[in-house]
Structure 1
Amino acid sequence: MSEASSSRIVIVGAGPAGIRAAATLVEAGLHPVVIDEGHRAGGQIYRRPPDGFVRTLKQLYGSEAAKARALHALFDRLAEEGRLTHCADSSVIAVHEGRLHVLGEGDVKVIGYDRLILTTGASDRVAPVPGWQIAGVDSLGAAQIALKAQGVALGRRIVLIGSGPLLTLVGAQILKAGADVAAVLDTSPWRQQMSGLWGLATRPVVALRGLVLRARLGGRYRAGVTLERIEADASGVTAMRWRDAGGRERLTPCDMIGMGWHLRAETHLADLVGCVFDYDEKWRQWLPKTDAMGRAGNGVYLAGDGARLLGADGAEIAGRLAAVACLMDLGHVAPPIQADLRKLARLERFARGLARAFPWPAEMVRTLPDETVICRCENVTAGAVRERADFGGGEANRVKSLSRAGMGRCQGRYCQLAAVELVAAKAGCAPKDVGRFRGQAPVRPAPVGAFLRED
């Protein structure tokens, strides 16, 4: 028996990257195990609604409906034919010595691997705004999930804030579904957005599609805004207070606010398996270091937004390349890859254009009032982070231990980037010099009872 056929290959994540990686391995005659938190494959971008849902694929996925249908059908066929093992509704919460600890229905099981392909995707990158801890404030991704999975809007009168393509997309989707979108407030000024055209021009059709969606928003879309604070009463959100590009103060009544500044890579598992990280100045976040095909060393491969933020099309290509890299390392005959590498390079240029056009609002975060909550899980304020930074020596994990920022349920997924900006500002250095919060198990909340097994 060859090494390739005897090796146990596990893929974590069944979005576009995970599906393509699995299909590539199956085509080579291997039988991968695919672990995914969703009930059915598709990931966040192609999330599937419950059975009996009345909205069509075109309504759910827009111009991406055909791609979603093809990926769903491909994975379902491979699973039904028994050519892969699908562990649905399962979360990998820890990794140790070639074994994954997987939380399923009520208990934790251990799955060993020889090769591991991580396609963990990304989540919303959010920046604190005074009042964002109030009920009625959600991420753009949460608003999109509610719309896709349940066909509901999370409010009666909605304001969306942030920057990036997802801001425009979610606004157009909610508006098309019939909800009342009062305003879409983008912190990136028009001049900044124009500076990214060199990269966006590498995918003119996609860029034009974004402009069409923005046109549908009409006067609701405002660029170059300054976000002041979220107003609320005992029942939750009541209004968004902001300043337009000319500095005029505005107050927009609403009962729900969705927020997001593009995406942040989901890297906790990559951290636990020992991947090396580099600070990406354009995206202003720490990303795992891999080669062009996704190799991260020690039999680990990364693909999709969990490694490089290239969107769904890039995730498919990266998933295929990671699987090919795995096959090559196992001595298997690999298919040609040059065309995929060229496509990935073009998508990289487009993504860099996006990062330049819709940047992380570093200055807004660094100048937040002391009373602003930074870590919603632990109710840690900006003032507390700044105070602990004086004792933490400008090092992220020391400030984390002293302030408890990043020690709650989300383990820093939503507060780490902001906390690091504050520490860097206090220490007078760049965020890359502050470092990042170390990942630790369990990477997801897990019930204690799940670990109480007789064996």
Structure 2
Amino acid sequence: MTRMLIIGAGPAGIRAAETLVAVGLRPQIVDEGERAGGQIYRRPPPGFTRPPRALYGSEADKAAALHRTFDGLVRDGQVDHHPRATVFALSDGVAHIVQEGTVRRIAYDRLILATGASDRLAPVPGWQAPGVYSLGAMQIALKAQGVALGRELVLAGSGPLLTLVAHQLRKAGANVAAVLDTAPLSSQAAGGAQMALARPRVTLRGLAVRAGLGRLYHPGATLERIEADADGPTALHWRDAAGRARVSSCDAVALGWHLRAETHLADLAGARFEWSPIWHQWLPVTDAMGRAGDGLYLAGDGLRLLGADGAEIAGRLAATACLRDMSLPAPNPGKDLRQLARMAWFAKGVARAFPWPADMVRNLPGETMLCRCEGVTVADARSALALAGPEANRLKALARVGMGRCQGRYCQLAGAEIVADETRRAPCETGRLRAQPPVRPVPVSAFLQADPDI
């Protein structure tokens, strides 16, 4: 029997598994979470008392449906689920994972990657201080443990996640002092019109969340620096849309500029990449249904940044493509393809409304920390370019930008802006950091306790 492996148990991975199981296949599913659901529908530990409506808001019914679907597949023995497991390498049809401190291997014939996305971050002077988090980290702490990572919070960045996390924190009783959006109202209006045409209900729901923030929300903000002492942030200095200097007191800061596709495993699996001028990042290349190569399929935010609804559709399409390639009965993809096209149009509106702050990054002071893992400043990176030249991997080798434990997830896009600015090139001309195993940190002890193949 063909060995099927799905990496990721968020909306895309769950729908892919459901589609494969419907024709009698039994896929293996590897996921870093303890319980399936992904980031957007992350589940709290057993015994957690907050109801789904409080955790997921208007998406509670969708979250519950996905959770029931996956739990049923596991309960009925239709899938093999490997929770709390991280895939750190792919080679020759084998996924290398670490689970409970032990390295294991899973062989596969066909692979569906549903790896999702993480926060897209831009450096801000002082962001290396303890108590500065990503928006996703704030959301994880709230959903998984019901806690706010601070007593007085400032959220900054741009994109729907910014206002959503602020809304969720306030609804849970947290004290949000300010929500600073670097996107000006002009770009938000232009992109918002496209969003409204594509998905009017979703757009109106987002506007309602925004309106609920009232005077806490500041569009067109310019972030200047995070002031901190030994205990963490004390204030965020910024300018409003009119250029007036402002200071927001805080003891924690969350940053994020929409999302960055998680593509390291796609790279190791042999996917081809292209620069996306829409999303200002390198994304895998597939056909409309997610085919990225022989036996390789991609779905969800690790391929296209379309959100949870789009991820569900993409998961079904990837599994459908897989079934067709195996000459097995497969659903008609017509409806899903049409819906996905509409969501892609909506996503382009989101990208237009909430752009990546390229100018802000290019104008960072030299002392700003660019790579937090390796302690590389903007000035360090600019100096190294005299020897590295305009190529990201050379800069990585000489200045260590992207060589730390995050593997460039935090600094690659900002580093590309610095290289582009210094060498007067477009970011797409600076190259893409090549993925290297392990794509996640693995303790040496795990290799000493390797289990037989799964």
Q: TM-score range by the shorter chain?
A: over 0.9
Q: TM-score, normalised by structure 2?
A: 0.98
- Return the letter of the residue paired with 2:60: A
Q: TM-score, normalised by structure 1?
A: 0.98
Q: Partner of 1:452 in structure 2?
A: 448
1:104 lines up with 2:104 in the alignment: no
1:89-139 deviation digits (Å, cap 9, x = unpaired): 100000110000010011111100000000000000010000000011000
Alpha-carbon offset, residue 8 of structure 1: 0.4
Alpha-carbon offset, residue 235 of structure 1: 1.4
Mapped partners of 2:412, 2:440: distance in 1: 16
Q: Partner of 2:85 in structure 1?
A: 90
1:337 lines up with 2:333 in the alignment: yes
1:206 lines up with 2:196 in the alignment: no
Q: Partner of 2:310 in structure 1?
A: 314
Q: Within 5 Å, give how 1:362-373 maps onto structure 2.
A: 362-373=358-369
Q: Within 5 Å, give how 1:208-357 maps onto structure 2.
A: 208-357=204-353
| Equivalent position SS for 1:86 | strand
- Return the letter of the residue paired with 2:227: E
| Equivalent position SS for 2:106 | strand
Q: Partner of 1:129 in structure 2?
A: 124
Mapped partners of 2:307, 2:350: distance in 1: 11
| Equivalent position SS for 1:19 | helix
| Equivalent position SS for 1:196 | helix
Mapped partners of 2:380, 2:239: distance in 1: 27
Q: Partner of 2:166 in structure 1?
A: 171
Instruction: Name the count of aligned residue pairs.
Output: 450
| Equivalent position SS for 2:386 | helix
Question: Residues 226 and 244 of structure 1 are in contact (CA less than 8 Å); yes or no, is this contact kept in structure 2?
Answer: yes
Q: Partner of 2:7 in structure 1?
A: 12
Q: Partner of 2:182 in structure 1?
A: 187
- Return the letter of the residue paired with 1:283: W
Question: Residues 192 and 203 of structure 2 are in contact (CA less than 8 Å); yes or no, is this contact kept in structure 1?
Answer: no
Alpha-carbon offset, residue 453 of structure 1: 4.4
1:430 lines up with 2:426 in the alignment: yes
| Equivalent position SS for 2:220 | coil
Return 5+ residue gaps in structure 2 as ranges.
none
Question: Residues 136 and 256 of structure 1 are in contact (CA less than 8 Å); yes or no, is this contact kept in structure 2?
Answer: yes
| Equivalent position SS for 2:41 | coil
| Equivalent position SS for 1:195 | helix
1:403 lines up with 2:406 in the alignment: no
| Equivalent position SS for 2:390 | coil
Q: Partner of 1:49 in structure 2?
A: 44
Q: Taking every aligned residue pair, what percent have the same amino acid on both sides? A: 63
Question: Residues 225 and 242 of structure 1 are in contact (CA less than 8 Å); yes or no, is this contact kept in structure 2?
Answer: yes
Alpha-carbon offset, residue 206 of structure 1: 0.5
Question: Residues 127 and 260 of structure 1 are in contact (CA less than 8 Å); yes or no, is this contact kept in structure 2?
Answer: yes
Out of 379, 383, 387, the residue aligned to residue 383 of structure 1 is 379
Mapped partners of 2:161, 2:191: distance in 1: 16
Mapped partners of 1:269, 1:232: distance in 2: 36
Return 5+ residue gaps in structure 1 as ranges.
1-5
Mapped partners of 1:182, 1:231: distance in 2: 15
Mapped partners of 2:59, 2:232: distance in 1: 35
Which stretches of structure 1, 4 residues or longer, exceed 2 Å deviation after superposition? Answer: none
Cα RMSD of the aligned pairs, angstroms, is 0.8
Mapped partners of 1:104, 1:302: distance in 2: 23
Alpha-carbon offset, residue 335 of structure 1: 1.2
- Return the letter of the residue paired with 2:308: A
1:430-449 deviation digits (Å, cap 9, x = unpaired): 01100111100001100001
| Equivalent position SS for 2:129 | coil
Mapped partners of 1:17, 1:91: distance in 2: 17
Alpha-carbon offset, residue 51 of structure 1: 1.1
1:360 lines up with 2:356 in the alignment: yes
- Return the letter of the residue paired with 2:441: P
Mapped partners of 2:386, 2:355: distance in 1: 28
Alpha-carbon offset, residue 413 of structure 1: 0.4
Mapped partners of 2:23, 2:317: distance in 1: 13
1:119 lines up with 2:106 in the alignment: no
Mapped partners of 2:244, 2:78: distance in 1: 61
Mapped partners of 2:95, 2:60: distance in 1: 33
Mapped partners of 2:427, 2:92: distance in 1: 32
Mapped partners of 2:74, 2:414: distance in 1: 41
Mapped partners of 2:316, 2:404: distance in 1: 35
Question: Residues 199 and 351 of structure 1 are in contact (CA less than 8 Å); yes or no, is this contact kept in structure 2?
Answer: no
Mapped partners of 1:18, 1:81: distance in 2: 18
- Return the letter of the residue paired with 2:344: E
Between 1:233-242 and 1:12-21, the stretch displaced more is: 233-242
Alpha-carbon offset, residue 390 of structure 1: 2.1
Mapped partners of 2:351, 2:22: distance in 1: 35
Question: Residues 302 and 322 of structure 1 are in contact (CA less than 8 Å); yes or no, is this contact kept in structure 2?
Answer: yes
Q: Partner of 2:27 in structure 1?
A: 32
Alpha-carbon offset, residue 333 of structure 1: 1.9
Alpha-carbon offset, residue 389 of structure 1: 1.6
Mapped partners of 1:75, 1:35: distance in 2: 13
Question: Residues 324 and 334 of structure 1 are in contact (CA less than 8 Å); yes or no, is this contact kept in structure 2?
Answer: yes
Q: Partner of 1:3 in structure 2?
A: none
Alpha-carbon offset, residue 416 of structure 1: 0.5
Mapped partners of 1:278, 1:195: distance in 2: 26
Q: Within 5 Å, give how 1:142-157 maps onto structure 2.
A: 142-157=137-152
Mapped partners of 1:242, 1:335: distance in 2: 52
